Amino acid sequence: MRNTRALAVAGAAVAALGLSAPAAVAWETPSNITALPGVIARGGQLTITVDGCRSGGTATSNAFSPTRLSPVGGGGKGNEGDRGGAGSGTARGTAVINSDARPGPYDITVDCNGRRMTKPQAFTVIGGVRGGLGGSTTTGATPTDVAIGGGLVAAAVVGGGVFWMRRRAERRI
């Protein structure tokens, strides 16, 4: 009976140590790169958040210029305990998507704490939007638009006249 209890206590201690070790390592290794929004137009601002990057770093991609990541949180030890450092172990930065970026998925590479991590297809660039113009690319009506509109108006006038003349003829009978 004593052997069973000792074995159970030893197993619980090993499990607790095993579960806490990855958490301790995560503070030193960049992980979980998040890019919001996931789909963005050219010229838009992309917020990049990296866990495990307590001293800040740099994010790079083919879609934007290298962007500085700054530690997030207060100047105290936060939830890092006695490990030191600033903030909560998370770094964040804002990147502006290049106006000439091609539509499609892009990777983000983060250099943080002397380590490098890449998240493939972290975000997707879509074609730019011409806001305020209703999507139009020309000003005014083209000659084709005028011809089509004029033809529709003429057809409506002729159709209305025929209808009116038929109704008038029915009343005489």
Output the CA–CA distances (angstroms, integers) from residue 90 to 55, 69, 96, 125, in the order listed: 8, 9, 20, 25
Pick from 63, 103, 69: nearest CA to 87: 69
Q: What does DSSP assign to residue 102?
A: P
* CA separation for the pair 125, 65 (Å, rounded): 15
Q: What is the pLDDT of residue 32?
A: 87
* CA separation for the pair 58, 56 (Å, rounded): 7
Question: If you search the block for the tokens 């949180």, which residue do you land on?
Answer: 73
Q: What is the pLDDT of residue 159?
A: 93
Enumerate residue ranges in the chain where pLDDT < 70.
Answer: 1-30, 74-88, 128-139, 169-173
Q: What is the pLDDT of residue 77?
A: 45
